């Protein structure tokens, strides 16, 4: 059987372990700067994929707060870069050649989804809009103003309004949650976690704050923490596809492969909206266990549920390469 590599949603790319034993002189370094045409803030969930000339994914990672992605120990050769994300409407596909021992710097220009476009569920699912009992009206007004700014993705002004709400009412758990989510959106992970933990201290039943802590932990590559936080969230509220996708991706990263497959099945049994990508995560878990037929079946199931779109074309490419590439062990 042949082998393939399946990229995971939000999953920070791993180093090229199969090349690390080689001489440093035979590999290079790739630094990618993603530039949005509207000069807006960078979404830390933006992903950059490094592919070989055959179209196979070699590595994938998320950008940092400066919208920079880096790949280390990359063997010399020809590559292509692809940028995707919840807020990316389109982006250049950049081809380049990497020489041994060199650092190759690449700029990729991307267009953000316009304000008139529908906001993806991932863009809004981090935030809560419910009011709390006994919240002073002045604090609630600041909170609602912040939520309107969040919809516009004006993170700086939303942060200012949320801070005002908290200053008026320091026990405002929902405001702390939204503040933490805003911090996370602009790549400030430490203050994000601080605000989210404050939200939980004020309201230990706020499931969304646990989900947001899971997202922040994923960005920090603290995968056991992701499993713990999402597990707690699922004990407090009904599951949704975003939370289960995050959980399954962390389980794969932790090599809890059977659990990742079961998480995917849970989403399918629950008939959650937008859960199709969990089949791709399950395919990765099966592939890592050497269960090639099961992995292919998961990818085919994904295509039956989501037959169109850029991601679907990538899955079709994986299946085609699976049929034609020699086995790589």
Q: Are residues 168 and 44 in the same domain?
A: no
| The pLDDT of residue 209 | 92
Give domain status of residue 276, yes or no. Answer: yes
Q: Are residues 108 and 162 in the same domain?
A: no
Q: How many domains does the chain have?
A: 2
Q: Are residues 296 and 176 in the same domain?
A: yes
Q: Are residues 104 and 215 in the same domain?
A: no
Is the confidence at residue 117, as pLDDT, over 60? no
Domain CATH code at residue 298: 1.25.40.10
pTM beyond cutoff 0.85: no
Q: How far apart are CA 188 and CA 222, in angstroms?
A: 16
Ranking 63-67, 175-179, 269-273, 302-306 by mean pLDDT, the lowest is: 269-273
Give domain status of residue 147, yes or no. Answer: yes
| The pLDDT of residue 106 | 83
**What are all long-range contacts of 150-159, with beta carbons under 8 Å and residues at least 24 apart?**
150/124, 150/178, 150/182, 151/119, 151/124, 152/115, 153/40, 153/41, 153/87, 153/123, 155/41, 155/182, 155/185, 155/186, 156/41, 158/182, 159/183
Query: Reduced to 3 states, what is the DSSP secondary structure of residue 182?
Result: helix
Q: Are residues 46 and 96 in the same domain?
A: yes
Average confidence (pLDDT) over 173-191: 91
Average confidence (pLDDT) over 298-315: 82
């Amino acid at each position: 059987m042949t082998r393939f590599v399946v990229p995971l949603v939000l999953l920070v790319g791993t180093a090229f372990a199969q090349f690390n034993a080689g001489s440093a002189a035979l590999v290079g370094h790739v630094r990618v700067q993603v530039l949005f045409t509207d000069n807006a803030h960078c979404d830390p969930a933006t992903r950059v994929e490094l592919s070989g000339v055959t179209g196979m994914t070699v590595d994938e990672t998320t950008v940092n707060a400066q919208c920079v992605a880096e790949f280390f120990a990359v063997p010399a050769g020809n590559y292509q870069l692809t940028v995707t994300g919840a807020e990316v409407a389109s982006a250049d596909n950049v081809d380049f050649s990497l020489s041994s021992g060199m650092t190759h710097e690449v700029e990729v220009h991307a267009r953000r989804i316009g304000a008139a476009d529908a906001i993806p569920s991932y863009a809004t699912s981090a935030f809560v809009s419910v009011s709390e009992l006994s919240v002073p009206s002045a604090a609630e007004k600041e909170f609602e103003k912040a939520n309107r700014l969040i919809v516009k993705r004006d993170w700086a002004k939303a942060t200012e309004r949320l801070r005002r709400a908290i200053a008026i009412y320091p026990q405002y758990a929902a405001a702390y949650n939204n503040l933490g989510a805003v911090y996370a959106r602009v790549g400030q992970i430490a203050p994000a976690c601080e605000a989210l933990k404050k939200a939980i201290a004020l309201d230990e039943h706020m499931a969304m704050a646990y989900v947001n802590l899971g997202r922040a932990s994923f960005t920090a590559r603290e995968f056991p923490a992701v499993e713990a936080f999402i597990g707690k969230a699922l004990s407090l509220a009904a599951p949704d596809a975003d939370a289960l996708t995050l959980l399954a991706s962390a389980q794969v990263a932790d090599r809890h492969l059977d659990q990742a497959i079961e998480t995917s099945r849970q989403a399918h049994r629950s008939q959650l909206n937008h859960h199709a990508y969990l089949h791709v995560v399950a395919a990765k878990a099966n592939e890592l266990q050497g269960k090639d037929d099961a992995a292919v079946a998961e990818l085919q199931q994904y295509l039956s549920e989501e037959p169109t779109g850029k991601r679907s074309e990538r899955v079709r490419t994986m299946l085609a390469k699976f049929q034609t590439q020699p086995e790589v062990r």
